[in-house]
Structure 1
Amino acid sequence: MSRLENLNVNIRELLANSLEPRDLVELATTSKQMCNSMMDNSVWKSKTNNDFGNLFEIYAIFTKSAGLELAPDLATKFSQEPTNWKEYYAQKNAAVDSADDEALMTQAEKEYSEAQAFLKTFQSDGNVSVLSRVASKMMWILDVFPTHAGCYYILGFILFVLNRLEDALIPLRTGRLVDPGFEPITELQEEIQRILQGYKGSQDETPLLEQDTLSRELKEVLEEIFRNFDRDQDGALKPEELDSFIFTTNGSHPPAPFLRQMGQRFGSNARGWLTRDGFLAFYLEQTLDDPSETRSDLGVHGYDPQSLKKRMEE
Structure 2
Amino acid sequence: MTSLETLPQELFNQMALDLEAADLVTLALTSRKLQTLATCDQLWIEKISADFGSRSTIIDILDDAGIEIAETVAHSTDIVPWKLSSDERETDSSISDMEEDEKTQIFSYTGEGLRCYRARYAKVFPESDDDLVSNTKHADAMIDETKQMLRAGPNANIEVFRDAALRLMVVQDSFPNSAECFYLWALMCFMLNSFKPSLRLLEIGHAINAEFSPISELAAEVRSIVETAYGNEGDAPLLNASGSGPSNQLARVLAIVFQRLDNDRDGVLNASEIGKMVKITNGQSPPAAMISQIIHAFGGQIQSKSGRKVTGWDINSLTNFYIAQTLDDPKETRSDLAKFGFDSQTLKPLP
Which whole-Å CA distance do the structure 2 matches of 1:173 and 1:46 have between them? Answer: 21
Counterpart in the other structure of 2:293: 258
Contact 2:73–2:166 (8 Å) recurs in 1: no
The TM-score normalised by the length of structure 2 is 0.72
Aligned-partner residue type, residue 19 of structure 1 = L
Q: Which has the larger radius of gyration?
A: 2
Deviations along 1:239-297, one digit per CA (max 9) or x if unpaired, are: 100111022113351524314314437x9433232011321233233334443332222
Give the total of aligned pairs.
308
Cα deviation digits, residues 191-249 of structure 1 (max 9, x gap): 33333333432113122233334222222111111111111222221110011102211
Equivalent in the alignment of 2:343: 304
> What TM-score, normalized to structure 1?
0.79
CA contact (8 A) 1:112 1:138 kept: yes
Q: Distance in 1 between matches of 2:249 and 2:136?
A: 51
Structure-2 change in CA distance of 1:231 and 1:114 (3 Å): same
Q: Distance in 2 between matches of 1:150 and 1:191?
A: 17
CA distance in 1 between counterparts of 2:3 and 2:332 reads 56
**Residue 241 (structure 1) aligned with residue 267 (structure 2):** no
Measured in 1, the distance between the counterparts of 2:116 and 2:18 equals: 18
Distance 2:17 2:176 in 1: 15
Unaligned segments of structure 2, at least 5 residues: 85-111, 304-308
Q: Aligned partners of 1:304 and 1:191: how far apart in 2?
A: 25
CA RMSD for the aligned pairs? 3.6
**1:103 aligned residue:** 134
Are 2:210 and 1:180 equivalent residues in the alignment? yes
Unaligned 5+ residue runs, structure 1?
A: none
Contact preservation (8 Å) 1:165, 1:196:
yes
- 1:292 alignment counterpart: 331
2:62–2:68 Cα contact (<8 Å) kept: yes
Q: Secondary structure at the match of 1:271?
A: strand
Alpha-carbon contact 1:230-1:237 (below 8 Å) kept: yes
Counterpart CA distance in 2 for 1:31 and 1:107 is 43
Fraction of identical pairs, as percent: 28
**1: distance between equivalents of 2:38 and 2:224?**
40
Partner of 2:306: none
Match of 1:215 among 219, 228, 247: 247
In structure 1, what is the equivalent of residue 102 of structure 2? none
Q: Distance in 1 between matches of 2:276 and 2:65?
A: 38
Task: Provide the residue aligned with 2:89 in structure 1.
Answer: none
**Given the alignment, which residue of 315, 318, 321 partners 1:276?**
315
C-alpha change, 1:29 and 1:210, in structure 2 (3 Å) is farther
Instruction: Give the whole-Å Cα distance in 2 for the aligned partners of 1:79 and 1:101.
Output: 17
Whether the aligned pair in 2 keeps the contact of 1:147 and 1:178 (CA below 8 Å) is: yes
C-alpha change, 1:285 and 1:179, in structure 2 (3 Å) is same
